[in-house]
């Protein structure tokens, strides 16, 4: 029996100022708790994640921990999320949450983003 691998390769990361700008320019924003998600459908057939976190959130170790937890939440549920979206998560100041809470928030943000894009596309 072959094991499923839940990797987070570089191809699932959103990199570069132009890629982030394109997602922000789509103006599809969903907010849940301390996270805001901007999303844009892509033609790649897989979701890509970008994280924007300011110094207001905390010290470097706190910010890095939050980024690790968000990437892990994204990585653990690649098959639960609608495919083909570029997602930028903007983190607002908060006390770091547990991984399970970030997973719940991330899943909710992705599903609501998908619904918003699906509705604006005329239900295609």
* 10 CB-near residues (< 8 Å, 6+ apart): none
Judge residue 88's burial from the number of C-beta atoms within 10 Å of its C-beta, 0-12 exposed, 13-18 middle, 19 or more buried: buried
Positive or negative torsion for Cα 72, 76, 79, 82:
negative
Higher pLDDT, 24 or 12: 24
How confident is the model at residue 113, as a pLDDT?
84
- Reported as a single tens digit per residue, the pLDDT across 84-124 is 888 999 999 999 999 999 999 988 888 888 888 777 666 55
Split at pLDDT 50, 70, 90, the class of 12 is confident
- Reported as a single tens digit per residue, the pLDDT across 29-49 is 999 999 999 998 888 878 889
Mean pLDDT of 18-25: 91
How far apart are the C-alpha atoms of 31 and 100, rounded to whole Å? 18
Contact 9, 49 (CB under 8 A): no
How far apart are the C-alpha atoms of 110 and 4, rounded to whole Å? 22
Q: Is the pLDDT of residue 8 over 90?
A: no
Give me 15's structure tokens.
């990199």
What ranges do the domains of the chain cover? 10-120
Find out if CATH 3.30.230.10 is the number for domain 10-120.
yes
């Amino acid at each position: 029996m072959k094991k499923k691998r839940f990797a987070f390769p570089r191809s699932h990361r959103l990199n570069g100022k132009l890629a982030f700008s394109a997602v922000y320019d789509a103006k599809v924003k969903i907010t849940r708790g301390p996270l805001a998600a901007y999303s844009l459908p892509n033609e790649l057939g897989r979701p890509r994640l970008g994280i924007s976190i300011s110094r207001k959130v905390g010290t470097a170790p706190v910010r890095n921990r939050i980024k690790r937890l968000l990437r892990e939440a994204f990585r653990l549920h690649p098959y639960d999320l609608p495919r083909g979206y570029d997602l930028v998560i903007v983190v607002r100041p908060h006390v770091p949450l547990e991984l399970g809470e970030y997973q719940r928030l991330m899943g909710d943000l992705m599903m609501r983003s998908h619904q918003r894009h699906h509705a604006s596309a005329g239900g295609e």
